[in-house]
Amino acid sequence: MRRLVVVLCWIVGLAVGMAAPGYAQNVAPEKPRVTRILFLLDASGSMLAPWEGQARMDVAKSLLAKMVDSLNAYPNLELGLRAYGHLHDKSENNCEDSKLEVPFAPKNAAAIKNRLKTIVPQGNTPITYSLLQSAGDFPTDKTARNVLILITDGLESCKGDPCATSVALQRKRVFLKPFVIGIGAEREFGKQLECLGHYYNAADVKTFRTILNDVVAQTLAKTTVAINLTDEAGKPVESNVNMTFINNITAQPEYNYVHYRDAQGKPDALDIDALQSYDLVINTVPPVRQENLQIRPGKNNILTYKTPQGTLWLQSPNLTANPYGTVQAVIRQAGKDNTLLALPFGARQKLLAGNYEVELLTLPRQIRRITVKQGQETTVTYPAPGMLNIISDLKGYGSVYRLNDDESQTWVYNLPDGSSSKVNVAMQPGAYRLIFRTKNAIGSKFTDVRNFTIRSGQTSSVSIFGK
């Protein structure tokens, strides 16, 4: 079976010298962050196989030597080298054959090149074990960027699960989403590696060189992201909205910003580490979410989203004193059952342009179906309530119903069980019915039914007395 060379790159934090967001923060560090790149080299026996006239190991060594030379002058950069499959013969079936050959240090290209010369392929391919071990190679430094580049010509040979290990280490913030470069491999073979991260297939040495250079360039490049928030016509008129970049491996927020655009309508450019994988949440109401945000490393990315907004005004009726107290409203998107938000009357709230259902928690409750339009204010209010005054000298059970235009009735309110005194209830204007049975009645037929009308600002009294 043909095997492959895989380059796997895990990166934590921002690019060399870039400002750090901090965990869910946007505060720059006091000093430049250190980027640490660990080369994890497959030295299993299959690396002796020929590839365009050379052993795969010789190709990998040559390219790595040139790479570390090119990186030696970078500031705030440290390199390290771990190899696996080179300490035990394949016949030993050793699945813990992995060793840190060159610890992290600045400007140590010579040490890495010298150590590469002595490594001879011979053993297994314990990728999972090596990934776990490499997590301990990085010094304890929460401010640093940890980059891991795995070079291998095959899949795991020790029954480990490198994909699950990759995700687990990313969630612990040891590694971030990897790059996977399959070299000289069948495309189907690479599908087994896609779960590790971004997969690239390099079928020849030239392509391998190009992709490896590109991976490292992405690691060191500064990337910016500008977000355009537009109306339905695509004009950048929206702003001042919270935006959250969520690491979609850890599910934790990496950056929180309040959107800004200048007098010319242009958004500012944000420093974003492109070597992580994000979901973007634009915290309008309801929110706009972009999963697996596509960011090109080393570029000024300009992304555009339609977020047309209007305003909902819950306008209280003009009353000296509102017998309801503070009335709440529940807002839902049209056609959806879940609550979008709840607000008190008197509040103004920006909403994405669209259709909504507003439920007013008056007595009885009311439903208003509204359309919010870009740049416009939509007002919802309710009539001033009246008062229902129930007087009874009898204990019993009763309910109030609203009478509908079609002469049907809708339940509104239950009297307190066993009540026998004055009950005052604020209600919306309309026609109602009181149904009441005394506690001592000896049958349902003794239920009393009374119709009454509620008018704004007035009190309607209903008396129930024993016969």
Q: Give me the pLDDT at residue 375, please.
A: 94
Query: Whose CA is closest to 128, among 42, 223, 191?
Result: 42
The enclosing H or E element of 208 equals helix 205-220
Distance CA(336)–CA(382), nearest Å, equals 23
pLDDT of residue 13: 36
- Find the DSSP H helices in 36-96: 56-71
Residue 342: per-residue pLDDT: 97
pLDDT of residue 12: 34
Q: What is the pLDDT of residue 185?
A: 61
CB 126 within 8 A of CB 97: yes
What's the rounded Cα separation, in Å, for the pair 81 and 447?
89
Residue 200: the pLDDT is 74
Contacts of 298 (CB under 8 A, 6+ apart): 217, 218, 221, 222, 223, 274
Euclidean distance between CA atoms 117 and 102, whole angstroms: 13
User: What local confidence, expressed as pLDDT, does residue 355 receive?
Assistant: 98
Task: Give the pLDDT score at 466.
Answer: 57
Angle at alpha carbon of residue 239, lines to 237 and 243, rounded to 5°: 140
Decide if 453 contacts 428 (C-beta within 8 A).
no
Q: The dihedral of CA 117, 119, 125, 127: what is its sign?
A: negative
Which two structure tokens, joined as six digits, stand for 5? 């060379």
Full pLDDT tens readout for the chain, 467 residues: 334 444 434 333 333 343 334 444 555 545 788 989 999 999 999 889 888 999 989 988 998 899 999 999 889 999 999 999 999 999 999 999 999 999 999 999 999 999 999 999 999 999 999 999 998 999 988 888 888 888 878 788 898 898 898 888 878 777 666 776 666 565 666 777 787 777 777 777 888 788 888 888 888 888 999 999 999 999 999 999 999 999 988 899 999 999 999 988 899 999 998 888 899 999 999 999 999 998 998 899 999 999 999 999 999 998 888 899 999 999 999 999 999 999 999 999 999 999 999 999 999 999 999 999 999 999 999 999 999 998 877 788 889 999 999 989 999 999 887 665 578 899 999 999 999 988 888 999 999 999 999 999 999 999 876 55
364 prior amide bond cis, ω within 30: yes
Whole-model pTM: value is 0.78
- What is the Cα–Cα distance from 107 to 454, expressed in whole angstroms? 86
Which residues neighbour 359 within 8 Å (Cβ) at sequence distance 6 or greater? 329, 330, 331, 332, 365, 366, 367, 368
DSSP state of 398: E
